[in-house]
Structure formats: C-alpha cells, structure tokens
Amino acid sequence: MLLFGFTAFLLAPKIDVISVLRIEDLVFLLVLPVLIWRYTPDRTPFPGYLKWYFAYLGLATLSAIANYSSLGLFGIINVVRQVQYLIWFAVGAQMAASISTERFHRAITIVGIIFILWWLGEMAGIIPKIGKFTGAQGRVTLNTSGPYEISVVVVFVMLFVKNRAVLLGLIGILIATQSRITLAAALVVYLIKNPRNALIVSVPVALLVVTFLLLDPSALAESRFAEIMSPLEMWQAWRAQLLDAPVIVDLPEYRYYAYDSLWEQVDGNIDVSFEIRLIRWALIVKSLTSDWMHLSIGWGPGAWGAAVDSHLIRFLGEVGVLGTAIFTAFVAVSVFHPGYPAPYRTAMMILVICSLFIDVMTSSKIMSFLWGFAGYTTARMSRASA
C-alpha cells in the first residue's frame, strides 16, 4: 500500500484542486494515515545526514520567526512544506521491511515507462501541458510544474532502472526538457562514478542526438542549447551585475527590482534566462549586507518568491550564512560519507550541481522522491548490516 502511494505521488499531476492544495497533496493525505497505522519506530533509521537536515530546519524555523513581521505565516508554512516532504523518508523506511529491492526497482521502472508514454502523448498533442511553462514550445513538462523539475525527477528514476530501452527513453525525455544544467549534472556525476564507461554512454547518447537532428535539423539552432555561455562570460556578467545592484532593505524593494521592473533591466546582450538570474542573484547577495541579522539568518524561508533559479543563492538569502553553513554540512556528509546508500549519494551530487541554476530543493516532486528512496535504501542497508 505504501509503495502504491509512493508511485502514485510521483505520477500525480501537479495541478491545484483547491487553492494551493494539489492532486499530489491529496495522495499524500491518503498515504499519511496508512503510514501512521503501520509505523514501527525501529524500522526507521536516523542517519547522520538527517541530524544535519533537522539542524537546518531548526535554523530555518528561527529565521521564519525572526522575519515574521515581513513574511507573516508564509515563512513558517514554507518550513512545514519541507517537513511534509521529509515524511516520505519514513514512508520509504517502512516500505523497506516488506518490499524487496527488485520490487522497488520494478515499481520505479513502471513509473519511468509511464513517463515515456506521457512524453510521447505530450509531443503528439494528445496530453496537454501543465505547470508554469505551458507556453515553452518544444520543452516537455509532463506531470510537474516545468521542465526543470521533471528533468531532475527523470534522472532520479534512472538511478533505479536497469532496462536499457527504458533508460534510452528517459534520456530522450531529459534531452527534450532542454534543461542544460540537469543534463550536465547527470553526465558529470555518471562519468565521475563510471569513468570507464565514458565511451559506452557517449555513443548511444550521440546517436539519439543525431536522430533528433535528422528529424528536425533546425531543432538545435532554435533550442536553448544554442545560447550556452562560457564560464568566463558568465563570471564577467555576474561581476558586472553584482557591482551595479543596489542594497535592498525590505522585500517590497526586492520584488520591485526582481519582478515589477525586471524587463526594463534586461538588455538581451547575453542569454536572457541567465541575465534574469544575475539580476535576482545580485540583489539577494547584496541584501545580506543590510544588517547583521539578515547576514546571520537571512530574510526567512520563501522570502524571494517562486523563482531565484539557484538554490545556493536562495539558501544564502533565506537562512543567511549560518543556515547555509549548516546546509553545506548536510550536503557534505550526504555526498562523502561512504556508509550511505549509493543512490542517495548520487542524487545529492546531482542536486548540488543543479542547485547552481535551479531551485531544486523546494520542489515537491524532487524532494519527496529523494526522501522516499533515501528512507527506503537507508533502511534496507541498515537491515542488511544488522
């Protein structure tokens, strides 16, 4: 039942039913009583990385309370949402006692197959686009709020899929999202973990890309891949923007520069999506110099709105230097500790790279999926070593 609920959550369309209540939230509310009914404390491990994450949530709560005058309940609700995603860790851990590794992998593979069929249906116009990128032609969104979110979810699915045909289809979805940072993250992490397979993986990927180009020769020139900037160009643009950005002293001022007058500041001389990021990043980084409280614990969870397009910058602005230091410790322990499950460590490496340009760690689909399989794999490892 818990495994069915977990996969149903992954497949649930991210569509609002009532106000901010989504279909996936309804699935969560159905799973929650089952979890409470079946919960056995000794089945749920408490690894070191969770201790650091709880420390981060504590600091985030402190920041939400300290910034209550400007955020109201929104900051606290933001923390509660993170706790909601974390509950999937307990769901995964409880599943580990009765669900074999093969069965878990098979369930995730079925999710991957459904994603591939969804992608084909979306390409054919049979299944309508949902989310915030419905107007982005040529970029798939599937059941999430946008291509960035589904790209990371697909990479996570690939961690558990063994069937090569399904893997090839998932790679096709990943390319169709045109999420450049997720593609780069997946490739870099794969080559780090499998250096001898560099040639093996590059050949089918190259063939897939060539096939796409043969079907539509103008696809590359008209896609976002043609707008990629060099690291030097990005650094020079970032430095110039940081020097020009004002020091904001309240959140309405940030919203004015980051949203209301945004397009007046965009000149289009560089990749537009990157230029928008730079404007917001510079405002957030310089806002920390407004006073010691904001430097230490930030402006509160969710202070910067829906899109910062870099979770590293978002963390720095929301929970300050102290919160960012705690979260960095959480990430370091997760990635480098050899005693944690390989899928979890690999996923965290991918998230760290994606966090450079995407707000991945506030995504309901991404974080719930991460905590679900983290709980499952960690509990399975604990049971095997007991």
What token pair was written down for 42?
């000794």
In-domain check, residue 271: no
- Number of domain units in the chain: 1
pLDDT at 228: 60
In-domain check, residue 86: yes
pLDDT at 59: 97
Smallest Cα–Cα separation from 184: which of 151, 219, 206? 151
Name the more confident of 103 and 197: 103
In-domain check, residue 236: no
In-domain check, residue 189: yes
Contact between 310 and 357 under an 8 Å Cβ cutoff? The reply is yes
In-domain check, residue 197: yes
Residue 200 pLDDT grade (very low, low, confident, very high; cuts 50, 70, 90): low
pLDDT at 135: 57
Give me the mean pLDDT over the 378-386 stretch: 83
Contact between 108 and 100 under an 8 Å Cβ cutoff? The reply is no
- Rounded Cα–Cα distance for residues 141 and 364 (Å): 15
Q: Dump pLDDT digits (tens) for 133-151.
A: 555 566 888 888 888 889 9
- pLDDT tops 90 at residue 83: yes
pLDDT at 88: 97
What token pair was written down for 339?
């005693």
- Rounded Cα–Cα distance for residues 296 and 67 (Å): 12
In-domain check, residue 238: no
Give me the mean pLDDT over the 258-285 stretch: 83
Residue 186 pLDDT grade (very low, low, confident, very high; cuts 50, 70, 90): confident
- pLDDT tops 60 at residue 225: no
Q: Dump pLDDT digits (tens) for 37-71.
A: 989 888 889 999 999 999 999 999 999 999 999 99
pLDDT at 237: 82
Query: Percent of the chain scored above 70 by pLDDT?
Result: 87
Specify which residues 21 forms β-bridges with: 18
In-domain check, residue 375: yes
Smallest Cα–Cα separation from 332: which of 307, 312, 349? 349
In-domain check, residue 196: yes
Give me the mean pLDDT over the 86-101 stretch: 95
SS3 16: strand
- pLDDT tops 90 at residue 296: yes
Q: What are phi and psi of 249, to 5 degrees?
A: -120, -5
* Eight-state DSSP code of residue 158: H
Q: Dump pLDDT digits (tens) for 153-163.
A: 999 999 999 99
pLDDT at 229: 63
Give the largest Cα separation in the chain, rounded. Answer: 61
- Rounded Cα–Cα distance for residues 90 and 371 (Å): 8
Give me the mean pLDDT over the 289-318 stretch: 89
SS3 21: strand
Contact between 366 and 149 under an 8 Å Cβ cutoff? The reply is yes
- The domain of 57 spans 2-226+327-385
User: HSE-up of 159 (CA within 13 Å, CB side)?
Assistant: 25
Average pLDDT along the chain: 86
Name the more confident of 72 and 42: 72
- pLDDT tops 60 at residue 101: yes
- pLDDT tops 80 at residue 236: yes
Give pTM, 2 decimals.
Answer: 0.87
pLDDT at 233: 78
